[in-house]
């Protein structure tokens, strides 16, 4: 990132605010087509609506935080697109969340319409799978009068900051009315389980974005995950093993002070299975955009813990199951990245001796913890 907060992309910079020309994939492109005549409020520069929108542009250009990027359109002043970078300390960390906005003809009498690009997934009580955004400031959610849209004071910047702080927060489970109270252990456990689901959906969103990034943000998406891909896959492993609570993975693999613990964190089997399934897809996708995912094969280690006292048959079964899982997880990556299988891993009848042939599988280690060692 440059000194002025802009993202450096392939020799150029990606400004937090800019005017672009291609709005063809915008969610409201076909729904709210303005009339092309001087009487249209979006065309007539002297109209109250046009002047207010231009004022919004200036506010955004000068005041956007480093984690929000906006694009507006020279030929469709009524449209706007924003991306919010998920904040650390939340299950949305390092993710990208895109929102399409459309100004109504009587703006600012009414708030803008906002559509979340969900890819069919609901990763927050306020963000529906159909793209609906429920927020008091947008008059789409019940709230106090002071929280509602105020034509004389409310701005688009306030909308974006509210989504970032109030919606994409540390414990989104409690955004849903009736979901208990903060601090009570039973609800905190449910909140933690919800965060596991949120993180998985956030990772799936990353994959969708890398496959088909929104227009005018293609290079930004690629650069974002090229820079943060390694940290994301490390976080996946830390969460799967219970080293760090979901949402709290920090730089260099450390956890934030609010989640530090000397004991392992309980993680659901469902979450472990979901991470194991997504892991090779994420590594492959990040590798394609140039992420330094480094020892990615080594990170596919599967630790098998055998309950004491194990029998010889159980030791062999555990070893074979571990090898099978490792092969399955590694298969997708070896196929895409061109790694060839030149041999097989075999275990003898005791399960204690096995040979490794071939460079790709020689890199893969499956550890079996035996009783007494």
Q: Which residues does the annotation mark as catalytic? A: 134
Other Cβ atoms closer than 10 A to 281:
17
Residue 301's alpha-carbon distances to 97, 251, 323, 329, 330, in angstroms, are 31, 22, 10, 10, 10
Give the helix ranges, DSSP H, for the chain: 48-63, 156-162, 185-211, 218-240, 269-288, 312-337, 359-362
Round to the nearest angstrom and report the end-to-end CA distance of the chain: 48
Which three-class secondary structure state does DSSP give residue 356?
Answer: coil
- With b for 16 or more beta-carbon neighbours within 10 A and e for fewer, the 181-197 pattern comes to eeeeeebbeebbbbbbb
Cα 331 to Cα 8: distance, rounded to the nearest angstrom: 34
Residue the block writes with tokens 């706007």: 80
Contact between 34 and 76 (Cβ < 8 Å): yes
CA distance 13 to 371: 56
Nearest to 6 by CA among 239, 220, 163, 304: 220
The answer to whether the beta carbons of residues 210 and 103 sit under 8 Å apart is no
């Amino acid at each position: 990132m440059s000194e002025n907060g802009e993202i450096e992309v392939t020799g150029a910079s990606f400004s937090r605010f800019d005017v672009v020309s291609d709005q063809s994939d915008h969610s409201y492109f076909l729904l709210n087509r303005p009339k092309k005549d001087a009487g249209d409020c979006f065309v007539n520069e002297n109209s109250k609506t046009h002047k207010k929108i231009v004022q919004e542009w200036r506010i955004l250009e000068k005041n956007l935080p480093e984690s929000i990027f906006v694009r507006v359109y020279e030929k469709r002043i009524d449209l706007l697109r924003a991306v919010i970078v998920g904040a650390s300390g939340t299950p949305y960390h390092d993710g990208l969340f895109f929102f399409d906005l459309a100004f109504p003809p009587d703006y600012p009498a009414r708030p803008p319409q906002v559509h979340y690009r969900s890819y069919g997934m609901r990763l927050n009580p306020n963000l529906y799978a159909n793209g609906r955004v429920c927020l008091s400031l947008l008059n789409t959610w019940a709230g106090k009068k002071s929280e509602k849209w105020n034509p004389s004071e409310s701005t688009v910047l306030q909308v974006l900051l509210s989504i970032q702080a109030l919606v994409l927060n540390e414990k989104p489970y409690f955004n849903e009315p009736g979901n208990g109270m903060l601090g009570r252990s039973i609800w905190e456990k449910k909140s933690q389980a919800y965060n596991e689901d949120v993180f998985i959906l956030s990772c799936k969103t990353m994959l969708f974005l890398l496959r088909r990034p929104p227009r005018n943000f293609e290079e930004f998406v690629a650069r974002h995950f090229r820079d943060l891909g390694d940290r994301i896959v490390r976080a996946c492993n830390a969460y799967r093993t219970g080293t760090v609570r979901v949402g709290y993975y920090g730089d260099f693999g450390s956890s934030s002070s609010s989640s530090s613990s000397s004991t392992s964190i309980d993680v659901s089997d469902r979450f472990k299975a979901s991470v194991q399934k997504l892991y090779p897809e994420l590594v492959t996708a990040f590798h394609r955009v140039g992420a330094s995912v480094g020892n990615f094969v080594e990170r596919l280690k599967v630790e098998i813990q055998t309950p004491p006292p194990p029998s010889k048959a159980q030791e062999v079964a555990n070893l074979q199951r571990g090898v099978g899982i490792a092969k399955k997880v590694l298969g997708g990556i070896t196929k895409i990245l061109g790694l060839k299988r030149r041999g097989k891993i075999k275990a003898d009848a005791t399960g204690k001796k096995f040979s490794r042939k071939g460079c790709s599988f020689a890199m893969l280690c499956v550890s079996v913890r035996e009783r007494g060692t």
